[in-house]
Chain A
Amino acid sequence: MSCMKLAQIFGDAQFVLVVVGSERHEAAVEGIACEMSEKRTCYVTLSKTRKALLDELSEKGAKVGNITFIDAISKTIMKSPEQGADALYAASPGALTEISMMVSKCMGKEFDYLLFDSVSRVFIYQKGAPVARFLSNIISQARQRGTRAAFVCIDLPEHAEFIKECAMLVEKTAKV
């Protein structure tokens, strides 16, 4: 579990950049997702498949029935990922327009939380202005719906500049 609780991570902010060391990434995100799952959550995954997350989070006692997944991984390696009412599959983590449209579709269902794991994976495909536009778009959609959003970013030296840029788009940066 994350050593920092969700309430501490967000404080009074609606949008938070969660910066986490690579060695703590998995446990931290798992902890955040478990806490968020108490309420309706949209989980954008660029790190694990939805199926892997369902298995892991169920084992940790998360209320996975409250989570809708936007999975940008499964289709990169599988032709036909398992379908489900809680699943939207994007073509790849680099398909920013598609992911953005899926977030938009989900926001219509009024989620309490949006978890995005991780912005660092987007950097593999895009950097700079397109990523900033993508995040701004998601933030703007979440703002309209009153959804609280956490954007996870892995703390790597090569991402330092991008982390700074992303930090300017949110209200708070939390190092966990």
Chain B
Amino acid sequence: MAKTIMVVDDEPDNRLTVKMLLEKNGYKVVTAVNGDDCLKKLAKQKVDLVLLDIMMPGTPVREIVPKIKGTKIAYLTVVRVSEAERENIVSTGNVVDFIQKPFDLEDLLSRVKKIVK
């Protein structure tokens, strides 16, 4: 059965690019325009991975993440953090990866595959 990925990004172009890439590679994709929309949709549908932008209007990501229970999260963001911070972030709770924008499509796909395999 196809794995389901939720793409949460306020930029329509980013959502579309990632959605097309993942669908082309056999994933089912749900999109959300911000953290609040993500939580609303997660209440109705279980997904295997949430690709979450950090800089979005609405409720801050630090308040959204603890509310996402039992689902893996990968940040997908332009924000730059130090190596130590990155390690700390991906070892906390259900955050499993920190993917830097602009990202390479092949690299993104390979990371998603690894996370949801």
Q: Which residues of A contact B (CB under 8 A)?
A: 22, 47-49, 51-52, 54-55, 73-79, 91-94, 121, 124-125
Cα distance A4–B6 in the bound complex, in angstroms: 42
Q: Which residues of B contact A (CB under 8 A)?
A: 10, 54-57, 60-62, 75, 78-85, 88-89, 102
A to B CB contacts below 8 Å, 29 in the list = A47-B80, A48-B81, A49-B80, A49-B81, A49-B82, A51-B81, A51-B85, A52-B80, A52-B81, A54-B82, A55-B82, A55-B83, A73-B79, A73-B81, A74-B85, A76-B55, A76-B61, A76-B62, A76-B79, A77-B54, A77-B62, A77-B75, A77-B79, A77-B89, A78-B62, A78-B85, A91-B60, A124-B10, A124-B57
User: Taking CB as reference atom, which chain A residue is nearest B80?
Assistant: A48
Nearest CB of chain B from residue A101's CB, rounded to whole Å: 18
Nearest CB of chain A from residue B85's CB, rounded to whole Å: 6
Give the interface SS of chain B, mostly helix, strand, loop or mixed: loop
Cα distance A93–B55 in the bound complex, in angstroms: 8
Chain B residues near A49 (CB, 8 Å)? 79-82, 85
Cα distance A49–B100 in the bound complex, in angstroms: 14
Nearest CB of chain A from residue B67's CB, rounded to whole Å: 14
Cα distance A79–B78 in the bound complex, in angstroms: 19
